[in-house]
Amino acid sequence: MQNPHPFKPVLVPISKITEMGSICAWAGCPRKFKGTMPSGWTWLQVYWSPHVICEPLDRNWTRDGVLCPEHTLKLDAQMKRIPRVAE
């Protein structure tokens, strides 16, 4: 099956990324941070694969970003409740 979201790489200089910092991906949220991610923020990765994979490969990513603590909780509240896997 072909990936319905083909990966289109965009090269951005690391200096530009460092300068911008990380911005909350929630529409309309202006919160951001620079450097080490503060407590409560989360990484958000969306990827396509015909099978579940634990570490998405770059070419399968359709979207990535970070969410601030407020929007991490809002997204979590919208998700279906499923049991956690025992470690």
Is pLDDT larger for residue 1 or for residue 27? Answer: 27
- The predicted-structure confidence for 41-72, as pLDDT tens digits, reads as follows 999 877 777 777 766 566 666 667 899 999 99
Total residue count of the chain as it appears in this document: 87
Helical (H) or strand (E) element with 23: strand 22-23
What pTM, to 2 d.p., does this model score?
0.66
- Take residue 24 and report the two structure tokens written for it: 């909350």
